Chains A and B, each alone.
Chain A
Amino acid sequence: MLWSNFLLTMFGVFFLQFFLSEFMSINMIRPDFMTIFVLYTAIKFGRFYGVIAGFTLGLLTDLAGVSSYFGLSSLTYSFSGYLAGYLKNQYNRLIPLYFHLSWVSIILFQFLVYCFVRYQYLYETNLIQFTIKWVLTMGYTMGFILVLQLIFPFKIYSHAESS
């Protein structure tokens, strides 16, 4: 993979998030295009590129404006990139159901960590409301991933042969 292409795409996604996320905000919840990019990068190119993409985008996100837990985004994105990297070339080795469950679990985990830190008071006081918040925050991004699956399914994107 060309580093220049990789970097260009990465910054393209960052600016997409930078300029578009606010316009797509629903009730203060926004889609996370960078998570989608990290997921696709890791599944196609492996753990190393997943971690690099995750860490860089996370750092840029935090630099673009967070007031507390500076470094949390780079941590969660790096985790996602690393874990999703294990799915590289696994489409044919795993049962498709397990493959899809795996990346869904990674996204669930990433947003769980993020929501747990951001809504820790809500977690302590109202677990149901916390769960709703987590599901909604994750659901918006997951919706975009599912739509993308119709255009660029992981099966084709990871160059896996159809079984």
Chain B
Amino acid sequence: MRNIYLALIRQRDHVAFFLAVLISFSLILSNNTQDIVILQGKANDIFSFLYKPVARLRSMAVVEVEAAVLREKNIQLKLQIESMLNLVAENEQLKNLLKYKRESQLTLLPAKVINKGLTSNLNTITIDVGSNQGVGLYSSVLTPNGVIGKTVAVGKYSSIVQVISDVNFRLSVQVLPSGARGILRWVYGDLCEIREVQKNSEIKIGDRVLTSGFSDIYPKNLPVGIVAGIREERGSFQKIITVRIAENLGSLINVFVITEQKDALE
């Protein structure tokens, strides 16, 4: 026994390395287990508590710029509302004619980004709302510009959001007006790709990309981005659509979490 102990002490470098690799691999392989998610949620509550003062300072620093942008946006929106009111009336008339009414209600919870992870590249953000505010696991997170991710670990007062730039993030989308559907995945920067699109779909650069609704997480018709490129691969029945997402992921400050979605067809 003593000899084994002495051997372990002598070889402690290699033993420590072996254990570190073993534990790391077992953590990687048990990524989606409930225990890891709970552990992350609890740890995140502690880290977000520590980071809150810094986040407050940061948001105060940008509040002036943000106010100017919001004032400008406000005027633009007022103008848009005027024109949209006319369109709403017209739309209502058409819907009544078709005896078709669709109601889609989303409950949005505003949240502040308090941390963007410690890794060299951005693939998660931490927001300051958690289960106490009604956030659930796999709630979709968006900004006025479109979908940016979903919650993957929820603590009492904070949540970790898997951002669209994460390697494992996938989003079922449709391209309008053609209605072509596919799975969106991030490539780099603000560019994403949709691969599973039929070659005969009529898609043009500038077409809008929205969520398809084929998901329990993301409601239908949430904006995602616009088509920035189309290319066809030889020997394949599908084409590859490059999508530019509207949101600058590096400068996220305020987001919304969908806490409840009612989607009813009458």
CB of A47 within 8 A of CB of B167, answer: no
Closest beta carbon of chain B to A68's beta carbon, Å: 4
Please indicate the chain A residues that have their CB under 8 angstroms from the CB of B36 in the complex.
70
CB of A75 within 8 A of CB of B43, answer: no
CB of B51 within 8 A of CB of A58, answer: no
Please indicate the chain A residues that have their CB under 8 angstroms from the CB of B31 in the complex.
68-71
A75-B24 contact in complex given A48-B16, A64-B118, A68-B123, C-beta closer than 8 Å? yes
Q: B130-187: which residues lie under 8 A (CB-CB) from chain A?
A: 152-153, 160-163, 165-169, 185-187
CB of A67 within 8 A of CB of B166, answer: yes
CB of A30 within 8 A of CB of B40, answer: no
CB of B16 within 8 A of CB of A18, answer: no
Please indicate the chain A residues that have their CB under 8 angstroms from the CB of B25 in the complex.
71, 75
Please indicate the chain A residues that have their CB under 8 angstroms from the CB of B166 in the complex.
67-68
Chain A 1-33 against B: per-residue CB contact (8 Å), 1 yes, 0 no? 000000000000000011101110101111110
B24 contacts which of A32, A64, A74, A137 (Cβ < 8 Å)? A74
CB of A19 within 8 A of CB of B167, answer: no
| Interface majority SS (helix, strand, loop, mixed), chain A | helix
Q: B94-127: which residues lie under 8 A (CB-CB) from chain A?
A: 115-126
Please indicate the chain A residues that have their CB under 8 angstroms from the CB of B116 in the complex.
22, 25, 65
A65-B26 contact in complex given A19-B51, A28-B122, C-beta closer than 8 Å? no
B47 contacts which of A63, A117, A125, A129 (Cβ < 8 Å)? A63
Q: CA of A63 to CA of B118 in the docked complex: distance in angstroms?
A: 10
Chain B 17-56 against A: per-residue CB contact (8 Å), 1 yes, 0 no? 1001101111110010000100110011001001100100
> Does A40 make an interface contact (CB < 8 A)?
no
Q: CA of A2 to CA of B132 in the docked complex: distance in angstroms?
A: 42
Q: CA of A70 to CA of B162 in the docked complex: distance in angstroms?
A: 12
Q: CA of A122 to CA of B242 in the docked complex: distance in angstroms?
A: 13
CB of B120 within 8 A of CB of A141, answer: yes
Q: CA of A114 to CA of B153 in the docked complex: distance in angstroms?
A: 22
Q: CA of A85 to CA of B126 in the docked complex: distance in angstroms?
A: 34
Please indicate the chain A residues that have their CB under 8 angstroms from the CB of B235 in the complex.
none
Chain B residues within 8 Å of chain A by Cβ, number:
55
Closest beta carbon of chain B to A156's beta carbon, Å: 24
Q: CA of A68 to CA of B246 in the docked complex: distance in angstroms?
A: 24
Q: CA of A121 to CA of B164 in the docked complex: distance in angstroms?
A: 13
CB of A27 within 8 A of CB of B250, answer: yes
Q: CA of A66 to CA of B124 in the docked complex: distance in angstroms?
A: 6
CB of B250 within 8 A of CB of A25, answer: yes
CB of A67 within 8 A of CB of B121, answer: no
Please indicate the chain A residues that have their CB under 8 angstroms from the CB of B168 in the complex.
67-69
CB of B24 within 8 A of CB of A82, answer: no
Q: CA of A27 to CA of B244 in the docked complex: distance in angstroms?
A: 16
Closest beta carbon of chain A to B239's beta carbon, Å: 14
A47 contacts which of B17, B117, B121, B165 (Cβ < 8 Å)? B17
Q: CA of A51 to CA of B11 in the docked complex: distance in angstroms?
A: 13
Closest beta carbon of chain A to B16's beta carbon, Å: 4
> Does B73 make an interface contact (CB < 8 A)?
no
CB of B167 within 8 A of CB of A119, answer: yes
Ordered by A's residue number, 21 sampled pairs between the chains whose C-beta atoms are within 8 Å are: A18-B50, A18-B118, A19-B54, A21-B118, A22-B58, A23-B58, A30-B121, A31-B120, A51-B20, A55-B23, A55-B24, A61-B118, A63-B47, A65-B40, A66-B160, A67-B124, A69-B31, A71-B26, A75-B25, A78-B20, A118-B167
Q: Which residues of A contact B (CB under 8 A)?
A: 17-19, 21-23, 25, 27-32, 34, 46-48, 51-52, 54-55, 58, 60-75, 78-79, 82, 85, 111, 114, 117-122, 125-126, 129, 133, 137, 140-141
